[in-house]
Amino acid sequence: MNRANASILALALLLASPLALAKSTDRNQPMDIESDSQSGVVTGDGTTVLSGNVVLTQGTLSINAARGEIIRSNGELSKAIFTGKQVKMRQQLDDGSWMDAAADRIEYDLLKETVVFIGNYTISSPRGSNSGQRMVYNTTTGGMQSGGDGSRVRTVIQPKSAAPQGKN
């Protein structure tokens, strides 16, 4: 592997790290959803619409949005979509630091295990930040892809001395 490829690989690993290190135990916690109103299905297939001051918490994960949709397919949760100007997301990382994200739309596909940040997104942690118009993040592999749609992507990588040093 040449130096340029090694640098690109290192950059890709650093960019993915804010989400890849999200608190691993959060998935096993109950999900609590509050909003001003909710309408839709509770069982079976369909969509539940959450309107007004939507707050979702699961372990250390917190999402605040103006509107949400919870989609059920084949009797299981399959997708969650949150919209607003802006949707705010916060989650503690396994090292004890925090990751903050904001976007006009956040789509979580539970079947594909992807999170898509759409519209003026910014993701930041003590390790650095990434911002642009669209990012797809695979929660299983830790892979991410942003840009490619003609828009610019901006990344800031903090020096090693500024990164978190173990659990706080």
Beta-strand relationship, 76-92 and 32-34 = unpaired
Which residues 6+ apart lie within 8 Å of 127 measured at CB? 14, 17, 18, 97, 157, 158, 163, 164
Band of pLDDT at residue 44, cut at 50, 70 and 90? confident
| Domain spans of the chain, in order of start | 3-162
What's the pLDDT at 100? 94
Band of pLDDT at residue 17, cut at 50, 70 and 90? very low
Maximum pairwise Cα distance, the chain: 56
Band of pLDDT at residue 151, cut at 50, 70 and 90? confident
What's the pLDDT at 165? 53
For residue 147, give the nearest of 125, 165, 163, 130 by alpha carbon.
130
Pairwise CA distance, residues 87 & 18, whole Å: 18
Pairwise CA distance, residues 60 & 98, whole Å: 9
Residue 152 has pLDDT above 80, yes or no: yes
Lowest mean pLDDT among 16-25, 92-101, 114-123: 16-25
- Tens digits of residue pLDDT in 107-150: 999 889 899 999 999 999 888 899 999 999 888 887 889 887 88
Band of pLDDT at residue 13, cut at 50, 70 and 90? very low
3-class secondary structure, 28:
helix
The fourth-level CATH superfamily of domain 3-162 is Lipopolysaccharide (LPS) transport protein A like domain (2.60.450.10)
Pairwise CA distance, residues 61 & 124, whole Å: 15
Secondary structure (DSSP) of 87-128: EEEEEEBTTS-EEEEEEEEEEEETTTTEEEEEEEEEEEETTE
Structure tokens at 152: 């610019």
Task: Write out the H or E segment, with its range, that includes residue 24.
Answer: none
